[in-house]
Structure 1
Amino acid sequence: MVSSSSSSSSSFFSFSFFFVLLLLHSCTAHNLPKFSAILIFGDSTVDTGNNNFIPTIFRANHAPYGREFPGHVATGRFSDGKLVPDLVASALGIKDLVPPFLDPHLSNEELKTGANFASAGSGYDDLTSVVSNVIPVSRQLLLFEEYLLRLNLIVGPIEAKQIINDALVTISAGSNDFLFSFYDIPSRKLEYDVYGYQDFLQGKLQDFIKKLISLGCRKFLVAGVPPFGCLPFQITEQSLNLTESSRGCLEKENRDARVYNFKLVRLLKKIQDSNPGVKVVYLNIYDPFIDMIDHPQKYGFVETKKGCCGSGLLEAGPICNAFTKPCANASQYLFWDSIHPGEEAYRVISQFVMENALPSFLS
């Protein structure tokens, strides 16, 4: 049983941490670049609800997802609250929430400031999306082309071109490719070793960025992969001993993530150098994520080895539902379910984006 003084201390810490974030935001907001719109591509870490509108079981439009979201609504975001695109778009003054493009009620006014094309469960490798029937990153390009047609009709081709030129294009994917197509279901292991598969994925990413450039995009924020060896689901699946004391990050998988990110930095520099007038910024997700795991007390977390939903060891998507009781205080958990961070962790990542990545667009 938690004492009242302990509970009050925890609440005070959470409030203080959030207050510090607000202060940091107010200090950096004036030094942030200006963007006309925000365009999001990727997987469940950035999907704000597109999977609600396609025939897949990879959805989060049910309780207890959205428990901390305004109105306590399960919107399809794989979290208890908002995602990084929402928090960053709000900090930049673009919009409070980034809507999914497939929402049939998406207004013309919303389209002017961007939309989200991401799909939970997707990756750069089309094979990753086959079983789950979600939208791979390559097909998200088709949604973007549809968006362009609609934007041209709304504001005209000249203004539409300017909006796209000045939009912040965020791309975040790759983890599902390793988890679904290489480690857990080793389909690609028949063709590649891990280093070859990294190169295969980054070739797909390079082609994707080139196509977006040809369509007028000029400002790219490209995320690396997190330490996916620390995901509770992955630890559970790969570990034979599931006792609390023995659970820990899988170093081999984290090493693969670091190598992938090292290669990605080089690739993005190559793309940058080959395309004058285009700005490509690398977003280091790995370091702030691992810091939250290694030093949870800095952020007010007390649990980093399992998610808040149910047992926190396996529940995610359809099996994180109304019958799997979540923890009482999600802000103390790094992970909301066994795969996805909670809103508090996303706030830390968002602050990192604003302080360490977005200023690069000013240079």
Structure 2
Amino acid sequence: MGGKPTGRFSDGKDPSDLIAEELGIKALVPAYFNPALQAQDLLTGVNFASGGAGYDPLTSDLADLYKLGARRIAVFGLPPLGCLPSQRTLKGGAERECVEMYNQVADLFNKKLQVELNSINSQFPDARLKYIDIFFPLISSTTHKNTVCFFLFI
């Protein structure tokens, strides 16, 4: 925002920003490791994503977050990793196709993540952990199996 680096994965708004903005919460969800982070930011959400804020194992334990008062937590699944431009270039052959094996691994991870989130939801009935699927909205099942549709947010 404003042409200034935010220390996050994207040089623009990411899905958590778009959701927070659409809900009228805030225009930008700050990175947890942002040195300018204010205590008030914690009340309306921060980005704990490894690409966005730097993975911190001390803050990744949901039980600890729950004890601190977190009740609504959104967890994004993995995108189709085999369709990332780097993987299509490195492993996609002359046609730069998606690497199906990497997509299968991301899909398996997402399925296991959903099971784990359901288990955690049952342990903390006052909390609402929501899985946000970004895998299947990005991958097209109606055309060639290696075709992917990426959304560009400007």
Shared fold, TM over 0.5: yes
Structure 1 Cα separation of the partners of residues 123 and 40 of structure 2: 35
Following superposition of structure 1 onto structure 2, how do residues 333-344 of structure 1 map, counting pairs within 5 Å? 334=150, 342-343=152-153
Structure 2 Cα separation of the partners of residues 107 and 99 of structure 1: 10
Q: Displaced runs of 4+ in structure 1, greater than 6 A?
A: none
Contact 1:118–1:137, Cα closer than 8 Å, also in 2: no
Higher helix share: 1
- 1:93 matched residue in structure 2: 24
Contact 1:80–1:342, Cα closer than 8 Å, also in 2: no
Structure 2 Cα separation of the partners of residues 137 and 251 of structure 1: 30
TM-score (normalised: structure 2): 0.75
Following superposition of structure 1 onto structure 2, how do residues 311-350 of structure 1 map, counting pairs within 5 Å? 334=150, 342-343=152-153
1:218 deviates by 1.5
Structure 1 Cα separation of the partners of residues 9 and 132 of structure 2: 21
- Cα–Cα, structure 1 residues 268 and 107, in superposed 2: closer, same or farther, change >3 Å? closer
Query: Does 2:14 match 1:83?
Result: yes
Contact 1:218–1:279, Cα closer than 8 Å, also in 2: yes
Find the structure with the greater CA-based Rg: 1
- Cα–Cα, structure 1 residues 213 and 105, in superposed 2: closer, same or farther, change >3 Å? closer
- Cα–Cα, structure 1 residues 111 and 119, in superposed 2: closer, same or farther, change >3 Å? same
- Cα–Cα, structure 1 residues 257 and 93, in superposed 2: closer, same or farther, change >3 Å? same
- 1:113 matched residue in structure 2: 44
Contact 1:90–1:96, Cα closer than 8 Å, also in 2: yes
TM-score (normalised: structure 1): 0.36
- Corresponding residue to 2:71 among 212, 215, 218: 218
Instruction: Give the aligned length.
Output: 152
Contact 1:77–1:83, Cα closer than 8 Å, also in 2: no
In structure 1, give the amino acid aligned to 2:99: L
Q: Deviations over 1:116-161 (max 9, x none)?
A: 3444388xxxxxxxxxxxx32414x1xxxxxxxxxxxxxxxxxxxx
Structure 1 Cα separation of the partners of residues 16 and 7 of structure 2: 14
Structure 2 Cα separation of the partners of residues 280 and 266 of structure 1: 12
Structure 2 Cα separation of the partners of residues 110 and 254 of structure 1: 34
Contact 2:114–2:131, Cα closer than 8 Å, also in 1: yes
List gaps (5 residues or longer) in structure 2. none
- 1:233 matched residue in structure 2: 86
Contact 2:31–2:52, Cα closer than 8 Å, also in 1: no
Contact 2:32–2:47, Cα closer than 8 Å, also in 1: yes
Identity of matched residues, %: 39
1:277 deviates by 1.5
- 2:128 matched residue in structure 1: 279
In structure 2, give the amino acid aligned to 1:248: E
Structure 2 Cα separation of the partners of residues 279 and 111 of structure 1: 17
List gaps (5 residues or longer) in structure 1. 1-68, 123-134, 142-204, 296-303, 306-332, 335-340, 345-363
Q: Deviations over 1:140-192 (max 9, x none)?
A: x1xxxxxxxxxxxxxxxxxxxxxxxxxxxxxxxxxxxxxxxxxxxxxxxxxxx
Following superposition of structure 1 onto structure 2, how do residues 259-278 of structure 1 map, counting pairs within 5 Å? 259-278=108-127
In structure 1, give the amino acid aligned to 2:57: S
C-alpha RMSD of the superposition:
3.3
